[in-house]
């Protein structure tokens, strides 16, 4: 952190003692408790118990952040084990040296605190300061809440439920990239969240924005999720549009990597590019299908992931193994070819045999901007067993004209296609996928069950 970003302790204490203490949603003793732990180098790591007098009542669900508080785009990121941990991120327009994350069991008096690690990020003529802290030591199934404070101001308490090993519901959004102000994405996501108040976390299948270097698009994408990102853990997938610069040339996906701190993968060459996490009875492996884009800049992500995935899946004892990856496995541009496997995309050729071998139960993809349920495919052929594939569709306003592959497209939505979203309800016995139109009407559903 540079010198300009440092906010002196003296100034902080002076602010605490001033009339700012009376401002909305700030408790001075929480601030004193929050000063107890120094900032971590890169991410907050450990909690510290902080005995404090009675705290404020929970106020989440009303106004997430004080209107003039410099804490933007507050978000929860999925961690490897959502039963015990959660990553919290936010941004500020000005340096913020004293950002603190507070959390507690909902409505309880004992508050724990953690200093956030902040880094500046400049791109597309915009500078923001990105703050990250990870809550650990949660008790599975307990209802916690969190807030952040900085510069003598604070957010309202936000819900922070710790997951269990039991059933869950997730919202799944395909490509959300838009060519306008992201109103299509906003309406779809907000309506989906409102219709599914029992959602535990949500997924965006890549190409979150159309141009990965456009600060306007990123802010539009975040703004569209106001009221969702603060309260639901988010599992992002990286798509090819994350690698496009403002001139539509390929670059490393710098903004995506900065905006989303995902679980570590042990890689020194591709940290944060791919990852895995557990939720309930499912182990999710989140792959990066952008080797065509990345190889000229930083080669090797496919081979590295192939090796990593084998170990990642072998190490999991979860009943279900699900892969999330952006690019679909079907090549729709060569359907008339008589060449063997002409309609299998190079992404599919590179990964499907490994999925067969590892016993992957389901593979969710995107990228084609059309919903296609492919059903079970094994050894590159339709089957009654093997991984169950779904190309999840489109959640923004960018549409492509995609042919139908009669061999692998078992369900195609009415054309011309509108945007859509999915839910996944998972238990130890079944995965239940539902696909919905923007008005909430059911467009398709599929079950996978354990015998």
Which of 78, 237 has the CB closer to Fe ion? Answer: 237
Q: What are phi and psi of 362, to 5 degrees?
A: -145, 145
- State in angstroms the smallest separation of the CB of 181 from Fe ion: 18
Closest chain position to Fe ion (CB): 207
Which of 211, 272 has the CB closer to Fe ion? Answer: 211
Q: Is 33 helix (H, G, I), strand (E, B) or coil?
A: helix
Which of 100, 368 has the CB closer to Fe ion? Answer: 368
- State in angstroms the smallest separation of the CB of 172 from Fe ion: 15
- State in angstroms the smallest separation of the CB of 369 from Fe ion: 6
* H-assigned helices in 8-71: 9-17, 28-34
Q: How far apart are CA 294 and CA 301, in angstroms?
A: 8
| Distant-in-sequence, close-in-space partners of 90: CB < 8 Å, separation ≥ 6 | 71, 72, 73, 74, 75, 99, 116, 130, 131, 148
Which of 235, 448 has the CB closer to Fe ion? Answer: 235
Residue 253's nearest CA partner among 281, 219, 304, 293 is 293
Please check whether residue 102 is in contact with residue 148, taking contact to mean a CB–CB distance below 8 angstroms.
Answer: yes
Q: What are phi and psi of 216, to 5 degrees?
A: -60, -45
Which of 18, 179 has the CB closer to Fe ion? Answer: 179
Which of 259, 279 has the CB closer to Fe ion? Answer: 259
Please check whether residue 366 is in contact with residue 326, taking contact to mean a CB–CB distance below 8 angstroms.
Answer: yes
CA distances (Å), origin 298, targets 238, 250, 285, 290, 303: 16, 11, 22, 11, 12
- State in angstroms the smallest separation of the CB of 76 from Fe ion: 24
Which of 175, 312 has the CB closer to Fe ion? Answer: 175
* Preceding peptide of 416 cis, ω within 30°: yes
Please check whether residue 75 is in contact with residue 201, taking contact to mean a CB–CB distance below 8 angstroms.
Answer: no
Which of 73, 367 has the CB closer to Fe ion? Answer: 367
Which of 207, 375 has the CB closer to Fe ion? Answer: 207
Which of 249, 317 has the CB closer to Fe ion? Answer: 249
- State in angstroms the smallest separation of the CB of 179 from Fe ion: 11
User: Which tokens is 93 given?
Assistant: 């327009």
Q: How far apart are CA 327 and CA 239, in angstroms?
A: 7
Please check whether residue 38 is in contact with residue 115, taking contact to mean a CB–CB distance below 8 angstroms.
Answer: yes
Residue 357's nearest CA partner among 303, 310, 301, 287 is 310
Q: DSSP of 305-328, one letter per residue?
A: HHHHHHHHHHT---SEEEEEEEE-
- State in angstroms the smallest separation of the CB of 367 from Fe ion: 4
Question: 378: buried, middle or exposed (CB in 10 Å: 19+, 13-18, 0-12)?
Answer: middle
- State in angstroms the smallest separation of the CB of 236 from Fe ion: 14
- State in angstroms the smallest separation of the CB of 398 from Fe ion: 7
- State in angstroms the smallest separation of the CB of 243 from Fe ion: 10
Which of 47, 242 has the CB closer to Fe ion? Answer: 242
Residue 97's nearest CA partner among 165, 151, 153 is 151
User: Which tokens is 386 given?
Assistant: 């093997």
Give the footprint of Fe ion on this chain (CB under 5 A): 175, 207, 239-240, 367
Please check whether residue 130 is in contact with residue 119, taking contact to mean a CB–CB distance below 8 angstroms.
Answer: yes
Residue 239's nearest CA partner among 392, 374, 444 is 392
Which of 272, 368 has the CB closer to Fe ion? Answer: 368
- State in angstroms the smallest separation of the CB of 432 from Fe ion: 26
- State in angstroms the smallest separation of the CB of 394 from Fe ion: 8
Q: How far apart are CA 186 and CA 396, in angstroms?
A: 9
Residue 13: CA count within 13 A, CB half-sphere: 4
- State in angstroms the smallest separation of the CB of 175 from Fe ion: 4
């Amino acid at each position: 952190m540079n010198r300009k970003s440092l906010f002196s302790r003296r100034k902080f204490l002076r602010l605490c003692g001033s009339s700012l203490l009376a401002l909305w949603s700030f408790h001075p003793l929480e601030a004193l408790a929050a000063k107890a732990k120094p900032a971590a180098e890169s991410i907050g790591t450990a909690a510290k118990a902080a005995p404090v007098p009675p705290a404020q009542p929970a106020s989440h669900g009303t106004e997430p952040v004080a209107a003039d508080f410099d804490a933007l785009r507050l978000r929860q990121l999925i961690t490897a084990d959502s039963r015990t941990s959660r990553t919290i991120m936010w941004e500020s327009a000005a340096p913020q040296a004293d950002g603190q994350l507070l959390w507690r069991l909902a409505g309880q008096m004992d508050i724990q605190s953690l200093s956030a690690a902040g880094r500046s990020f400049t791109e597309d003529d915009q500078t923001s300061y990105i703050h990250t802290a990870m809550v650990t030591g949660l008790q599975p199934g307990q209802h916690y809440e969190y807030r952040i404070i900085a510069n003598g101001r604070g957010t309202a308490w936000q819900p922070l439920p710790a997951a269990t090993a039991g059933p869950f519901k997730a919202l799944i959004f395909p490509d959300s990239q838009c060519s306008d102000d992201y109103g299509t994405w906003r309406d779809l996501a907000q309506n989906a969240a409102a219709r599914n108040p029992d959602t535990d976390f949500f997924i965006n299948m890549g190409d979150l924005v159309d141009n990965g270097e456009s600060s306007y698009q990123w802010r539009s994408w975040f703004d569209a999720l106001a009221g969702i990102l603060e309260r639901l853990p988010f599992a992002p997938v990286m798509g090819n549009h994350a690698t496009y610069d403002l001139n539509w040339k390929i670059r490393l996906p710098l903004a995506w990597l900065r905006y989303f701190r995902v679980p570590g993968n042990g890689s020194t060459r591709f940290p944060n590019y791919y990852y895995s996490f557990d939720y309930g009875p499912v182990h999710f492996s989140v792959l990066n299908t952008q080797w065509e884009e990345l190889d000229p800049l930083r080669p090797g992500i496919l081979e590295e992931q192939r090796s990593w995935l084998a170990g990642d899946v072998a190490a999991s004892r979860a009943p279900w193994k699900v892969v999330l990856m952006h690019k679909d496995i079907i090549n729709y541009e060569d359907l008339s070819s008589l060449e063997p496997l002409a309609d299998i995309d190079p992404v599919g050729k590179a990964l499907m045999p490994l999925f067969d071998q590892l016993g992957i139960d389901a593979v969710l993809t995107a990228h084609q901007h059309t919903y296609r349920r492919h059903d079970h495919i094994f050894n590159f052929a339709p089957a009654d067993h093997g991984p169950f594939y779904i190309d999840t569709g489109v959640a923004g306003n960018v549409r492509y004209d995609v042919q139908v592959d009669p061999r692998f497209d078992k369900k195609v939505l009415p054309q011309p296609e509108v945007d859509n979203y999915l839910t996944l309800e998972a238990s130890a016995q079944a995965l239940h996928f539902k696909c919905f139109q923007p008005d909430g009407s059911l467009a398709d559903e599929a079950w996978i069950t354990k015998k």
